[in-house]
Amino acid sequence: MCRHLAYLGEPARLADLVLMPQHSLVAQSYAAQELLRGTVCADGFGVGWYADGDPEPALYRRECPIWSDPDLAGVARVVRSRCVVASVRNATPEVGHVGAAGVQPLVSGRFLFSHNGFIAGFAERARELRALLPDDLYAAHRGGGDSETLFLLILACIRDADGDLAEGVAAALAEVSRRAPGSALNVLATDGRSLVASRFRAGDDPSDSLYLLERPGSVLVASEPLDGDPGWTAVPEGNLAVLGTTATTRLVEVVR
């Protein structure tokens, strides 16, 4: 399974979010403490961020392990952003290796997305799930992975919800839960201004871990705490955390 994080707040260096913490994504890629499946996240990594004045995010993604990339440190040292999503990938047996298209985060227009988990029985359910997509989003498929299908379903539901990010994510997760019981659906989704993070399993098995750290003017969410700050709190299972920098985090239960 993957480990991922998202940040929203005052401009921060990518290095300070992704590389420098004691239990950074680099450390989590080979020494995760709460990984439910697998042992290392070595099947690629990615970082997405928003530049000031540009509503569409930039991406830096590679198929190699994060610890082996020679260029990430240089990029992360100089790039600052108010909104960041990053992920390290452990390909699941349900999907396997699907090339660069399976490396997250994923982007479409102003939306940035990461999925830690899997859609249960995806090979048998892919056609059914993709049939729910409008023509333009169906045509946007670039790979064969379940995470991309989930992202496109979320985009379709956000559209149906008149652009409401939290409502769209909740509707998509509920739909996948009904059609693919047993799916693991921890997602991060942002439009650069607001952020939604889910900790959700469509069934009775434990959900993948997810933690939240709120500081004045910023919020940080991650699969595992990045450091020893006592402010890290676990997101309750079965919930979305709707995050912003000017209001208290709102928890929304996902209806199965």
* Residue 185 to residue 162: CA distance in whole angstroms: 23
pLDDT of residue 39: 84
According to the model, what pLDDT value does residue 247 have? Answer: 64
- What is the C-alpha separation between 191 and 9, in angstroms, rounded? 13
CATH number for position 64: 3.60.20.10
Retrieve residue 136's tokens: 């333009």
Quickly list DSSP for 115-177: EEEE-TTHHHHHHHHHTTS-HHHHTT--S--HHHHHHHHHHHHHHHTTT-HHHHHHHHHHHHH
Which residue has 């909104």 as its token pair? 83
Please give the model's pTM, rounded to 2 decimal places.
Answer: 0.94
Q: Provide the pLDDT for residue 252.
A: 84
User: In this model, does residue 61 exceed pLDDT 80?
Assistant: yes
Instruction: Give the pLDDT band (50/70/90) at residue 256.
Output: low
Q: Are 63 and 99 in contact (CB under 8 A)?
A: yes
Q: DSSP class of residue 94?
A: T
pLDDT in tens, 101-140: 779 999 999 999 999 999 999 999 999 999 999 999 999 8
For the chain, strand residue ranges (E) read 3-13, 45-49, 58-62, 80-88, 106-108, 111-118, 184-190, 195-199, 211-215, 218-222, 233-234, 239-243, 250-253
pLDDT at 94: 52
**How many structural domains does the chain have?**
1
Spatial separation of the C-alpha atoms in residues 169 and 250, rounded to whole Å:
14
Q: Which domain, by its residues, includes 142?
A: 3-253
pLDDT digits (tens, 9 = 90+) for 166-209: 999 999 999 999 999 999 999 999 999 999 999 999 988 899 99
Average predicted confidence (pLDDT) for the chain: 92
| Region of 122 on the Ramachandran plot (φ > 0 left; ψ -120 to 50 alpha; else beta) | alpha
C-alpha distances (whole Å) from 85 to each of 75, 124, 176, 255 are 15, 30, 23, 25
Q: Could you list the active site residues?
A: 2
Q: What H or E segment, with its residue span, contains residue 201?
A: none
Q: What is the DSSP letter of 212?
A: E
Q: Using DSSP bridges, classify how beta strands 211-215 and 195-199 pair: parallel, antiparallel or unpaired.
A: unpaired
